[in-house]
Amino acid sequence: MLPELHSILNLLEGGFSRLRVLVVGDLMLDRYIMGEVERISPEAPVPVFRHAHRYERPGGAANVAMNLAGLGCQTFLAGFWGSDHDQAELAALLQAANVDTRGVVSSTLPTTSKTRIVGRTQQMLRLDIESREAPPEVELERLLERAAELTGKMHAVILSDYAKGALTQKICAAVIAAARAGGIPVLVDPKTRDFGKYAGATTVCPNLNELSVATGVPSDDMAGLLAAAQGLLVQHGFDYMTVTLSEKGIRILSPEGTYHSPSRAREVFDVSGAGDTVIATLAAGIAGGLKRESAVELANVAAGIVVGKVGTVPIATHEIVAELTPSSGLGAGEKILDRERLVQRVAEWRASGESIVFTNGCFDLLHVGHITLLEDCRRFGSKLVLGLNADSSVCRLKGPTRPIVGEKERARVMAALAAVDAVVLFEEDTPMELILSILPDVLVKGGDYTIDTVVGHQEVIAAGGRVEIVPTVAGFSTTNLVKKLSTLG
């Protein structure tokens, strides 16, 4: 179980939307041309690549911004792009993701692009279009002004350095100074040998190779490398350093000690953009008030998801929620939701291909009939939502002596069951409003009902769902238990 899981889920289910995060750095356009190689050319000893399809995605600092947007943050971007076809494609992709590009400066240099030729899942060739000239001084000054102006309005700032010329020492120093003066965390993804360029940043997030280049210690000397990193940490005034260790996970180095988060990747297809996902998720977590350890754990989960995809693919909240809330792994407290959070979680489950089952009841005194009903429900789908009558609703339906067990306690007991994925209380006499808010794929009730008497059956069926009636367990009911207990008294 992740630390601060409840806080993490709150952020994922809408909390990130209040956060403003600025990314300053090197923008790129990643282009993928997909196809197959079936023969060798008769003209020369080279493979013949047969084109199947192509697509474009924001890369570099723009991919960091896409990851933040995927998490739901209000995302701002500053950097350079040219006045060319690649710029138009990149701008359209960022606009579609609601990334604010007011900080981007139009340059006389071309938009940086990387075109990858991919045969099935194997990258065969990469074509880079970029300038090795430094941006003109007037353009650098314009970028500094825009980035500094935006910084003070943010909850976090990321410097995404791909060594393409946007992040000069002067710009880094100005952004870091403005952020730290406002108590705003600054996170850096470095691609230069001299980490002094980022002096005063909250954290720098190198991978092993980048750390090796910066320290001169071989990347296979883990102990020596981490010791040298501690020296850089003190030398340049970072609060802590966040080192990505490839398949070994992520480690935080700080003056107080270290914290290690093991890798969460199940299968690695492509590490392109994984560092962008890590720093974006880490920044969002820190800006959202998580402890650095919790933010790193969250970033590790996100990285484990994106490396299982081909190409530069940003993370999305529903993917993380699905990873953090397997049916048997979610704590009982995190399963109890209000209606707004339930709607959000159901949407995330659906986006991940889950099917939603709904049942409801008072569940006052839990008995074998209840357990059998819930186990039957799980046969019809992958996620079970339980609508639980609140105390006022139970009292109206069952009489003034009910419920015997209060709504908070009943919700906690039901959420502890492995068969249940979400519990939501409703005050009404029927769950109709609740059913309409999520329109489950399957609506389930016990054998004392018929399809026509199940509340919400028409609406669920009209939406393409179905209704299932499952047998009851004879002789078991809360009413019978209450009668039996009264005779014992």
Catalytic residue selected from 30, 100, 161, 276: 276
Tokens at 72, concatenated: 């739901």
Amino acid at 59: G
The H-or-E segment that residue 422 falls in is strand 422-426
Distance between CA atoms of residues 264 and 269, nearest Å: 14
Residue from 176, 218, 227, 225 nearest 199 by CA: 176
Tokens at 483, concatenated: 């009668």
156-160 and 186-189 as β-strands: parallel, antiparallel, unpaired? parallel
DSSP string over 391-412: HHHHHHHH-TT--SS-HHHHHH
Distance between CA atoms of residues 433 and 17, nearest Å: 26
Residue from 448, 430, 304 nearest 361 by CA: 430
* Residue 391 annotated as catalytic: no
Please answer whether residues 10 and 2 qualify as being in contact, where contact means their C-beta atoms are separated by less than 8 angstroms.
Answer: no
Distance between CA atoms of residues 103 and 80, nearest Å: 9
Give the contacts of 178 (CB within 8 A, at least 6 positions apart): 148, 151, 152
Please answer whether residues 75 and 23 qualify as being in contact, where contact means their C-beta atoms are separated by less than 8 angstroms.
Answer: yes
Which residues are the active-site residues?
276
